[in-house]
A = this chain, B = another copy of it.
Amino acid sequence: MKRIGIADTTFARVDMASAAVRSLGATGTGYRLYRRTVPGIKDLPSACQALFREEGVELALALGMPGKAEYDKTCAHEASLGLQQVSLLERRPILECFVFESEAGSEKQLARLATRRAEEHAENAWNLLFRPRALARRAGTGLRQGFADAGPARPVS
C-alpha cells in the first residue's frame, strides 16, 4: 500500500483536492491518501514536508491557485522554489498543480480548468508511482494538463 499526500489551500477558489481524490480513485488502487490544508501557496512546501516526514507519503500533490495580482506571480514563484527545495531535501517527488486565476475568463471556466488540471495531475501522480512506463511511452508527445494537449511537433523530414 503506497502513501500519497495532498496539500491544498483555503486561498484557492476551487476545491481541487476533491477533484484529485476522485481522479485517483478512477485511475487505480493500491494507495492511501493523506491531506493537509494550509492558508496559502507559500505554506505548501511546509505542508508537503509534514506529509513526507509525519505521514511517510511517497509523493505529494501540491494544489494551489495564485490570485490575479502581479504580486501573486511572485508568491507562486516563491512557492514553486520552496516545493523544489523540499522535494530534493526529502528525496520525494512533488507534483505541483497551480492554476492562475488569470488563466480563466470566468469563474465557471476557472472551476472547470482547476478541476480538470487537478484530475490530470492526479493521474500523473498515480502513473509515477505505479506505472512509470506509461509516462515513458508518451515522452515528447506534448501532453498538457487542464488544456488540450499540444501534441508532438512534426518530425524532421
In the complex, which range does the number of interface residues on chain A fall in? 35 or more
How distant is the Cα of A111 from the Cα of B154 in the complex, in angstroms? 7
Query: Does A15 belong to the interface (CB within 8 Å)?
Result: yes
- Whether A45 pairs with B12 at a CB distance below 8 angstroms is no
Which B residues are CB-close (under 8 A) to A107? 153-154
Question: Scoring A residues 114 to 139 as 1 if CB is less than 8 Å from chain B, else 0, what string do you get?
Answer: 11000001001000100010011011
By CB atoms of chain B within 10 A, which of A39, A47, A138 has the most? A39
By CB atoms of chain B within 10 A, which of A42, A49, A53, A73 has the most? A42
How distant is the Cα of A11 from the Cα of B87 in the complex, in angstroms? 20
How distant is the Cα of A119 from the Cα of B35 in the complex, in angstroms? 26
**Which of B14, B16, B139, B153 interacts with A17 by CB under 8 Å?**
B139
What are the 10 tightest A-B residue pairs by CB atom distance, in nearest-first order? A15-B140, A13-B142, A82-B84, A107-B153, A37-B136, A10-B143, A13-B153, A46-B93, A37-B135, A37-B139
